[in-house]
Amino acid sequence: MKLLLLAACIIGMAFSAPPQMYMEFDLHHAPPQAAQAIPAGAPVGSLEVLLPVNNQRQYVGGPVQGFIKQEIHRADGKDDEIYYPFGFDQPAPAAAPVAPVAPAAPAAPAAPAAPAAPAAPAAPVAPVAPVVIVAAPMRKPGTSSEEKKPDNNDAPFSL
């Protein structure tokens, strides 16, 4: 059972791995679409860009999706990292526009419809009296007339 659980975890991790690997680069390697994600006022030395790489760990060119990583050094010696995504909100390529179709022939004007007759007023309805549903009282369990009562009242249960 433990082996089955271990195998399921390993297979689950393999399928949930991201399809691309990301690698950290200096900020001057950032693509143009990353410029809008760079936080204003952040020191340049604390910024890096995470870009997708192929299996040979080479940068994948073209329009990419990535992250700007900002490292914030705290007084207690620990560092915080903030990731700003870019390129993920690019719209899908638009389909080719469909040429407008010319109308076949103009439709003949329709004759005006006759005015509708006014609806007859509804008959008045008498007010409905409230309905009260009363259920028959239930018997306590074990008190039917067919059951035989035990002779000894001290017994917790009868056989």
Range of the domain at 29: 20-86
Contact (CB, 8 A) for 71 and 81: yes
Residue 152 lies in a domain: no
Structural domain count, the chain: 1
pLDDT confidence of residue 77: 84
| Residue 141 confidence (pLDDT) above 60 | yes
Q: Is the pLDDT of residue 159 over 60?
A: no
Predicted local confidence at residue 126, as pLDDT? 63
Contact of 24 with 48, CB cutoff 8 Å = yes
pTM of this structure = 0.44
Q: Give domain status of residue 113, yes or no.
A: no
Q: Please report, for residues 15, 27, 68, the alpha-carbon distance to residue 45 in angstroms, rounded to integers and kept in the order given.
A: 36, 9, 12
Side chain identity at residue 9, one-letter code: C
pLDDT digits (tens, 9 = 90+) for 22-69: 888 888 888 888 888 888 888 878 888 888 888 777 777 777 788 889
pLDDT, tens digit (0-9, with 9 covering 90-100), for 62-85: 777 888 898 888 888 888 888 888
| Residue 122 resides in a domain | no
In a domain, 26, yes or no: yes
Q: Is residue 60 part of a domain?
A: yes
The token pair that represents 19 in the structure block: 């399809």
Q: Which of 24-28, 95-99, 117-121, 154-158 has the highest mean pLDDT?
A: 24-28
pLDDT at 101: 58
Nearest to 48 by CA among 63, 29, 27: 27
**Is residue 66 a contact partner of residue 47, using CB atoms and an 8 Å limit?**
no
Element (H, E) at 115: none
